[in-house]
A = this chain, B = another copy of it.
Amino acid sequence: MASQSPIVDIHTHVYPPSYVDLLKSRSAIPYIRSFPPSPDLRLVILPAEDTASTSRGRPVGPAYYDITEKIKFMDLHSIDISVISLANPWLDWVPESEAADAARRINDEVDAECARFPGRLFAFGTLPLSGGSEVIVREIERLKTLTYMRGVILGTTGLGKGLDDPELLPVFEALQNAKLAVFLHPHYGLPSQVWGERAGEYGHVLPLALGFPLETTIAVTRMILSGAFEKVPELQMILAHSGGTLPFLAGRIESCIEHDAHLKAKGRLGAGRKTVWEILKSNIYLDAVIYGEVGLKAAVQASGEDRVMFGTDHPFFPPLEEGTEKWASVETNYTAIKGALESSKEGMQGVLGSNAVRVLNLSI
Protein backbone atom coordinates (compact mmCIF):
# COMPACT_ATOMS: atom_id res chain seq x y z
CA MET A 1 0.00 0.00 0.00
CA ALA A 2 1.57 3.23 -1.20
CA SER A 3 0.60 5.64 1.54
CA GLN A 4 1.88 8.65 -0.42
CA SER A 5 -0.52 8.01 -3.24
CA PRO A 6 -3.32 5.65 -2.30
CA ILE A 7 -5.75 4.13 -4.75
CA VAL A 8 -9.32 4.62 -3.64
CA ASP A 9 -12.43 3.04 -5.16
CA ILE A 10 -15.48 5.18 -4.47
CA HIS A 11 -17.95 3.22 -6.61
CA THR A 12 -18.16 -0.30 -5.22
CA HIS A 13 -21.28 -2.02 -3.97
CA VAL A 14 -22.22 -4.46 -1.26
CA TYR A 15 -25.27 -6.54 -0.48
CA PRO A 16 -24.87 -7.17 3.24
CA PRO A 17 -26.39 -10.49 4.39
CA SER A 18 -29.53 -8.93 5.85
CA TYR A 19 -30.22 -7.22 2.50
CA VAL A 20 -29.73 -10.51 0.65
CA ASP A 21 -32.25 -12.10 3.04
CA LEU A 22 -34.70 -9.32 2.27
CA LEU A 23 -34.31 -9.87 -1.50
CA LYS A 24 -34.66 -13.64 -1.16
CA SER A 25 -38.03 -13.16 0.53
CA ARG A 26 -39.43 -11.34 -2.51
CA SER A 27 -40.93 -12.41 -5.84
CA ALA A 28 -41.13 -8.99 -7.49
CA ILE A 29 -38.18 -6.83 -8.55
CA PRO A 30 -35.81 -6.53 -6.77
CA TYR A 31 -35.44 -10.20 -5.89
CA ILE A 32 -32.95 -13.04 -5.64
CA ARG A 33 -33.94 -16.59 -6.63
CA SER A 34 -32.83 -19.59 -8.62
CA PHE A 35 -34.26 -20.51 -12.01
CA PRO A 36 -34.57 -24.33 -12.17
CA PRO A 37 -33.06 -26.54 -13.41
CA SER A 38 -30.03 -24.47 -12.32
CA PRO A 39 -29.63 -24.24 -8.53
CA ASP A 40 -27.60 -21.01 -8.85
CA LEU A 41 -29.04 -17.85 -7.34
CA ARG A 42 -29.60 -14.90 -9.66
CA LEU A 43 -30.23 -11.26 -8.81
CA VAL A 44 -32.87 -9.42 -10.85
CA ILE A 45 -32.99 -5.69 -10.25
CA LEU A 46 -34.19 -4.08 -13.49
CA PRO A 47 -37.56 -4.55 -15.20
CA ALA A 48 -35.75 -4.97 -18.51
CA GLU A 49 -33.87 -7.93 -17.03
CA ASP A 50 -37.01 -9.63 -15.78
CA THR A 51 -38.04 -11.10 -19.10
CA ALA A 52 -37.32 -14.42 -20.72
CA SER A 53 -33.88 -14.24 -22.23
CA THR A 54 -30.80 -16.39 -22.08
CA SER A 55 -29.71 -14.51 -18.99
CA ARG A 56 -32.26 -13.15 -16.57
CA GLY A 57 -30.56 -10.88 -14.06
CA ARG A 58 -27.07 -11.96 -13.07
CA PRO A 59 -25.46 -14.67 -10.96
CA VAL A 60 -25.09 -13.79 -7.28
CA GLY A 61 -21.90 -15.12 -5.82
CA PRO A 62 -20.01 -14.34 -2.63
CA ALA A 63 -18.61 -11.17 -4.22
CA TYR A 64 -22.06 -9.70 -3.61
CA TYR A 65 -22.38 -10.40 0.11
CA ASP A 66 -19.02 -11.59 1.53
CA ILE A 67 -16.90 -8.59 2.50
CA THR A 68 -13.71 -10.66 2.43
CA GLU A 69 -14.29 -11.07 -1.31
CA LYS A 70 -14.24 -7.28 -1.59
CA ILE A 71 -10.86 -7.19 0.12
CA LYS A 72 -9.51 -9.91 -2.21
CA PHE A 73 -10.76 -7.93 -5.21
CA MET A 74 -9.10 -4.78 -3.83
CA ASP A 75 -5.80 -6.58 -3.34
CA LEU A 76 -5.94 -8.04 -6.84
CA HIS A 77 -6.37 -4.56 -8.34
CA SER A 78 -4.03 -2.64 -5.98
CA ILE A 79 -6.91 -0.75 -4.37
CA ASP A 80 -5.99 0.57 -0.93
CA ILE A 81 -9.34 1.90 0.23
CA SER A 82 -12.92 1.25 -0.87
CA VAL A 83 -15.91 3.41 -0.04
CA ILE A 84 -18.64 0.78 -0.15
CA SER A 85 -22.31 1.46 -0.79
CA LEU A 86 -25.45 -0.62 -0.83
CA ALA A 87 -26.29 -1.52 -4.42
CA ASN A 88 -29.45 -0.34 -6.15
CA PRO A 89 -32.35 -0.31 -5.60
CA TRP A 90 -31.37 0.30 -1.97
CA LEU A 91 -34.42 0.70 0.28
CA ASP A 92 -36.54 2.64 -2.20
CA TRP A 93 -39.11 -0.15 -2.29
CA VAL A 94 -39.47 -0.81 1.46
CA PRO A 95 -42.91 -0.08 3.00
CA GLU A 96 -43.03 3.21 4.93
CA SER A 97 -43.43 1.53 8.31
CA GLU A 98 -40.29 -0.59 7.83
CA ALA A 99 -38.03 2.08 6.34
CA ALA A 100 -36.45 3.44 9.52
CA ASP A 101 -35.60 0.01 10.94
CA ALA A 102 -34.30 -1.32 7.63
CA ALA A 103 -31.99 1.66 7.19
CA ARG A 104 -30.65 1.41 10.74
CA ARG A 105 -30.02 -2.31 10.36
CA ILE A 106 -28.31 -2.01 6.97
CA ASN A 107 -26.22 1.03 7.93
CA ASP A 108 -25.06 -0.56 11.19
CA GLU A 109 -24.20 -3.75 9.35
CA VAL A 110 -22.20 -1.89 6.68
CA ASP A 111 -20.42 0.17 9.33
CA ALA A 112 -19.51 -3.06 11.15
CA GLU A 113 -18.16 -4.55 7.92
CA CYS A 114 -15.89 -1.50 7.56
CA ALA A 115 -14.71 -2.01 11.16
CA ARG A 116 -13.41 -5.47 10.27
CA PHE A 117 -10.79 -3.85 8.01
CA PRO A 118 -9.96 -0.52 9.67
CA GLY A 119 -8.64 2.06 7.26
CA ARG A 120 -9.37 -0.02 4.19
CA LEU A 121 -13.14 0.38 4.14
CA PHE A 122 -15.40 3.40 4.47
CA ALA A 123 -19.02 3.66 3.38
CA PHE A 124 -21.89 5.64 1.98
CA GLY A 125 -25.02 5.08 4.05
CA THR A 126 -28.52 4.32 2.82
CA LEU A 127 -31.48 6.61 3.49
CA PRO A 128 -34.95 5.39 4.53
CA LEU A 129 -36.52 7.33 1.66
CA SER A 130 -39.97 5.80 1.96
CA GLY A 131 -40.12 6.83 5.62
CA GLY A 132 -40.69 10.53 4.96
CA SER A 133 -38.51 13.59 5.58
CA GLU A 134 -38.41 13.39 9.38
CA VAL A 135 -37.33 9.77 9.45
CA ILE A 136 -34.73 10.50 6.77
CA VAL A 137 -33.29 13.48 8.60
CA ARG A 138 -33.09 11.48 11.84
CA GLU A 139 -31.10 8.75 10.07
CA ILE A 140 -28.78 11.41 8.59
CA GLU A 141 -28.11 12.67 12.13
CA ARG A 142 -27.38 9.11 13.21
CA LEU A 143 -25.11 8.40 10.22
CA LYS A 144 -22.87 11.27 11.37
CA THR A 145 -22.17 9.29 14.56
CA LEU A 146 -21.12 6.08 12.77
CA THR A 147 -17.35 5.73 12.47
CA TYR A 148 -17.00 4.86 8.78
CA MET A 149 -19.88 6.72 7.11
CA ARG A 150 -18.75 9.45 4.71
CA GLY A 151 -21.89 10.19 2.75
CA VAL A 152 -25.05 8.60 1.44
CA ILE A 153 -25.96 6.83 -1.77
CA LEU A 154 -29.11 8.18 -3.39
CA GLY A 155 -31.27 7.10 -6.32
CA THR A 156 -33.12 9.45 -8.62
CA THR A 157 -36.67 9.19 -7.27
CA GLY A 158 -36.20 11.04 -3.98
CA LEU A 159 -39.50 11.00 -2.11
CA GLY A 160 -41.22 9.70 -5.22
CA LYS A 161 -41.24 12.82 -7.40
CA GLY A 162 -37.60 13.11 -8.39
CA LEU A 163 -34.75 15.18 -7.05
CA ASP A 164 -36.25 18.54 -8.07
CA ASP A 165 -38.99 18.06 -5.47
CA PRO A 166 -39.03 21.03 -3.04
CA GLU A 167 -39.94 18.60 -0.24
CA LEU A 168 -36.46 17.11 -0.58
CA LEU A 169 -34.77 20.39 0.34
CA PRO A 170 -34.78 19.64 4.11
CA VAL A 171 -33.02 16.36 3.33
CA PHE A 172 -30.41 18.09 1.20
CA GLU A 173 -29.96 20.72 3.93
CA ALA A 174 -29.47 18.03 6.56
CA LEU A 175 -26.85 16.37 4.37
CA GLN A 176 -25.13 19.70 3.79
CA ASN A 177 -25.09 20.44 7.52
CA ALA A 178 -23.81 16.96 8.33
CA LYS A 179 -21.10 17.37 5.68
CA LEU A 180 -22.17 14.08 4.13
CA ALA A 181 -21.67 13.87 0.37
CA VAL A 182 -24.43 12.45 -1.82
CA PHE A 183 -23.41 9.69 -4.21
CA LEU A 184 -26.08 9.94 -6.92
CA HIS A 185 -26.60 6.57 -8.60
CA PRO A 186 -29.10 5.46 -11.24
CA HIS A 187 -31.39 2.49 -11.07
CA TYR A 188 -34.66 3.12 -12.87
CA GLY A 189 -33.35 3.83 -16.36
CA LEU A 190 -35.81 5.04 -18.98
CA PRO A 191 -39.31 3.85 -19.94
CA SER A 192 -38.77 0.60 -21.86
CA GLN A 193 -40.59 1.81 -24.99
CA VAL A 194 -37.53 3.88 -25.95
CA TRP A 195 -35.52 0.70 -26.50
CA GLY A 196 -37.84 -0.56 -29.23
CA GLU A 197 -39.20 -3.98 -30.17
CA ARG A 198 -35.81 -5.62 -30.64
CA ALA A 199 -34.26 -4.63 -27.30
CA GLY A 200 -34.38 -8.22 -26.02
CA GLU A 201 -31.95 -9.26 -28.75
CA TYR A 202 -29.34 -6.92 -27.33
CA GLY A 203 -29.15 -8.51 -23.87
CA HIS A 204 -28.88 -5.91 -21.13
CA VAL A 205 -26.90 -3.42 -23.18
CA LEU A 206 -29.47 -0.66 -23.73
CA PRO A 207 -30.73 -0.26 -20.13
CA LEU A 208 -27.23 -0.60 -18.68
CA ALA A 209 -25.18 1.33 -21.20
CA LEU A 210 -27.73 4.09 -21.87
CA GLY A 211 -30.59 3.85 -19.37
CA PHE A 212 -28.33 4.35 -16.37
CA PRO A 213 -26.28 7.37 -17.50
CA LEU A 214 -29.24 9.07 -19.16
CA GLU A 215 -31.29 8.68 -15.96
CA THR A 216 -28.50 10.32 -13.96
CA THR A 217 -28.21 13.15 -16.46
CA ILE A 218 -31.92 13.89 -16.30
CA ALA A 219 -32.00 13.73 -12.49
CA VAL A 220 -29.15 16.15 -11.95
CA THR A 221 -30.34 18.53 -14.66
CA ARG A 222 -33.74 18.68 -13.00
CA MET A 223 -31.97 19.52 -9.73
CA ILE A 224 -30.03 22.29 -11.48
CA LEU A 225 -33.21 23.74 -13.00
CA SER A 226 -35.03 23.61 -9.68
CA GLY A 227 -32.43 25.86 -8.09
CA ALA A 228 -31.38 23.21 -5.56
CA PHE A 229 -27.72 24.20 -5.83
CA GLU A 230 -28.54 27.83 -5.06
CA LYS A 231 -30.87 26.90 -2.19
CA VAL A 232 -28.45 24.40 -0.64
CA PRO A 233 -25.21 26.02 -1.76
CA GLU A 234 -22.75 23.66 -0.06
CA LEU A 235 -24.47 20.45 -1.18
CA GLN A 236 -21.82 18.05 -2.45
CA MET A 237 -22.97 15.55 -5.10
CA ILE A 238 -20.79 12.78 -6.49
CA LEU A 239 -22.28 11.62 -9.78
CA ALA A 240 -21.97 7.97 -10.79
CA HIS A 241 -20.58 7.04 -14.21
CA SER A 242 -18.77 10.34 -14.62
CA GLY A 243 -21.99 12.29 -14.43
CA GLY A 244 -24.02 10.18 -16.82
CA THR A 245 -23.54 12.53 -19.74
CA LEU A 246 -23.51 15.87 -17.91
CA PRO A 247 -19.92 16.86 -18.83
CA PHE A 248 -20.67 16.36 -22.53
CA LEU A 249 -24.06 18.08 -22.47
CA ALA A 250 -23.23 20.92 -20.06
CA GLY A 251 -22.75 23.38 -22.90
CA ARG A 252 -26.05 22.50 -24.54
CA ILE A 253 -27.94 22.62 -21.23
CA GLU A 254 -26.44 26.01 -20.41
CA SER A 255 -27.22 27.32 -23.89
CA CYS A 256 -30.82 26.10 -23.71
CA ILE A 257 -31.24 27.75 -20.31
CA GLU A 258 -29.86 31.05 -21.61
CA HIS A 259 -32.12 30.90 -24.67
CA ASP A 260 -35.30 29.97 -22.86
CA ALA A 261 -38.00 32.61 -23.19
CA HIS A 262 -40.03 31.18 -20.30
CA LEU A 263 -37.12 31.23 -17.84
CA LYS A 264 -36.30 34.75 -18.97
CA ALA A 265 -39.90 35.91 -18.51
CA LYS A 266 -39.92 34.44 -14.99
CA GLY A 267 -36.74 36.30 -14.05
CA ARG A 268 -34.81 33.05 -13.62
CA LEU A 269 -31.79 34.11 -15.69
CA GLY A 270 -30.60 36.95 -13.49
CA ALA A 271 -27.85 37.37 -10.94
CA GLY A 272 -27.62 34.61 -8.35
CA ARG A 273 -28.07 31.83 -10.85
CA LYS A 274 -25.20 29.35 -10.86
CA THR A 275 -24.35 28.24 -14.38
CA VAL A 276 -24.05 24.54 -15.15
CA TRP A 277 -20.29 25.04 -15.46
CA GLU A 278 -20.14 26.67 -12.03
CA ILE A 279 -22.14 23.86 -10.45
CA LEU A 280 -19.81 21.30 -12.06
CA LYS A 281 -16.86 22.97 -10.38
CA SER A 282 -18.38 23.74 -7.00
CA ASN A 283 -21.13 21.27 -6.05
CA ILE A 284 -20.40 18.28 -8.23
CA TYR A 285 -17.77 15.54 -8.15
CA LEU A 286 -17.58 12.78 -10.75
CA ASP A 287 -16.47 9.20 -10.49
CA ALA A 288 -14.17 7.87 -13.21
CA VAL A 289 -16.33 4.90 -14.20
CA ILE A 290 -16.54 5.78 -17.89
CA TYR A 291 -14.47 3.07 -19.65
CA GLY A 292 -12.70 5.36 -22.07
CA GLU A 293 -10.20 8.15 -22.34
CA VAL A 294 -12.52 10.37 -24.39
CA GLY A 295 -15.17 10.46 -21.70
CA LEU A 296 -12.71 10.72 -18.85
CA LYS A 297 -10.98 13.72 -20.41
CA ALA A 298 -14.36 15.43 -20.75
CA ALA A 299 -15.14 14.67 -17.11
CA VAL A 300 -11.80 16.07 -15.96
CA GLN A 301 -12.18 19.17 -18.12
CA ALA A 302 -15.73 19.80 -16.98
CA SER A 303 -15.29 19.33 -13.25
CA GLY A 304 -11.55 19.61 -12.67
CA GLU A 305 -8.83 17.02 -12.11
CA ASP A 306 -9.25 17.60 -8.37
CA ARG A 307 -12.92 16.53 -8.51
CA VAL A 308 -12.86 13.18 -10.37
CA MET A 309 -12.47 9.92 -8.42
CA PHE A 310 -11.64 6.36 -9.44
CA GLY A 311 -14.27 3.65 -9.13
CA THR A 312 -14.87 0.06 -10.24
CA ASP A 313 -18.61 -0.70 -9.96
CA HIS A 314 -17.60 -4.00 -8.31
CA PRO A 315 -19.14 -6.62 -8.16
CA PHE A 316 -20.77 -5.77 -11.49
CA PHE A 317 -19.08 -6.31 -14.88
CA PRO A 318 -16.96 -9.31 -13.78
CA PRO A 319 -14.79 -11.11 -16.33
CA LEU A 320 -16.88 -13.09 -18.83
CA GLU A 321 -14.19 -15.73 -19.28
CA GLU A 322 -13.72 -18.28 -16.51
CA GLY A 323 -10.28 -18.22 -14.95
CA THR A 324 -9.51 -14.62 -15.88
CA GLU A 325 -7.78 -12.92 -13.00
CA LYS A 326 -7.91 -9.15 -13.36
CA TRP A 327 -11.21 -7.64 -14.34
CA ALA A 328 -11.27 -6.01 -17.79
CA SER A 329 -13.84 -3.47 -16.59
CA VAL A 330 -11.38 -2.24 -13.95
CA GLU A 331 -8.34 -2.29 -16.20
CA THR A 332 -10.23 -0.28 -18.84
CA ASN A 333 -10.87 2.47 -16.30
CA TYR A 334 -7.25 2.43 -15.09
CA THR A 335 -6.05 2.72 -18.68
CA ALA A 336 -8.42 5.63 -19.33
CA ILE A 337 -7.15 7.50 -16.27
CA LYS A 338 -3.52 6.94 -17.22
CA GLY A 339 -4.17 8.08 -20.79
CA ALA A 340 -6.25 11.11 -19.92
CA LEU A 341 -3.88 12.38 -17.22
CA GLU A 342 -0.48 11.34 -18.53
CA SER A 343 0.68 14.96 -18.54
CA SER A 344 -0.37 15.64 -14.93
CA LYS A 345 1.12 13.37 -12.26
CA GLU A 346 -0.72 15.27 -9.55
CA GLY A 347 -3.97 15.00 -11.45
CA MET A 348 -3.52 11.28 -11.97
CA GLN A 349 -2.79 10.69 -8.28
CA GLY A 350 -5.78 12.84 -7.44
CA VAL A 351 -8.16 10.85 -9.61
CA LEU A 352 -6.70 7.52 -8.49
CA GLY A 353 -7.14 8.29 -4.82
CA SER A 354 -6.00 11.50 -3.19
CA ASN A 355 -9.10 13.42 -4.29
CA ALA A 356 -11.28 10.87 -2.51
CA VAL A 357 -9.11 10.98 0.64
CA ARG A 358 -9.45 14.77 0.73
CA VAL A 359 -13.10 15.11 -0.28
CA LEU A 360 -14.39 12.25 1.86
CA ASN A 361 -11.93 12.65 4.73
CA LEU A 362 -10.81 9.04 4.57
CA SER A 363 -8.93 8.71 7.84
CA ILE A 364 -10.08 7.17 11.10
Contacts and interface: CB of A to CB of B under 8 A. Distances in A.
Contact of A226 (B198, B298, B302): B198
A201 B241 CA distance: 28
Contact of A191 (B193, B254, B261): B193
A44 interface: no
Interface residues of A, number: 72
A17 interface: no
Contacts of A226: 198
A194 B164 CA distance: 12
A54 to B, nearest CB: 5
Per DSSP, are chain A's interface residues mostly helix, strand or loop, or mixed? Answer: helix
B198 A222 contact: yes
A342 to B, nearest CB: 14
Contacts of A247: 248, 294-295, 298
A265 interface: yes
Contacts of A170: none
Contacts of A203: 260-263
Interface stretch (A122-130, A139-147, A204-212, A350-358): A204-212
Copies, count:
2
B210 A218 contact: yes
A109 B263 CA distance: 37
B210 A249 contact: yes
B205 A249 contact: no
Interface string A78-112: 00000000000000000000000000000000000
Interface in A6-45: none
A222 B196 contact: yes
Given A196-B162, A255-B317, A320-B259, A294 B209 contact: no
Contacts of A254: 291-292
Contacts of A208: 256
Contacts of A260: 202-205
A312 interface: no
B295 A297 contact: no
Interface in A108-161: 161
4 tightest A-B CB contacts, nearest first: A251-B292, A203-B262, A251-B291, A248-B248
Given A202-B260, A206-B221, A255-B328, 10 more contacts: A203-B263, A205-B225, A206-B222, A241-B252, A245-B245, A250-B295, A251-B292, A258-B328, A259-B328, A294-B302
Interface of A: 53-55, 58, 161-162, 164-165, 190-191, 193-198, 201-206, 208-210, 213-214, 217-218, 221-222, 225-226, 241-242, 245, 247-266, 290-295, 297-298, 301-302, 317, 320, 328-329, 332, 336
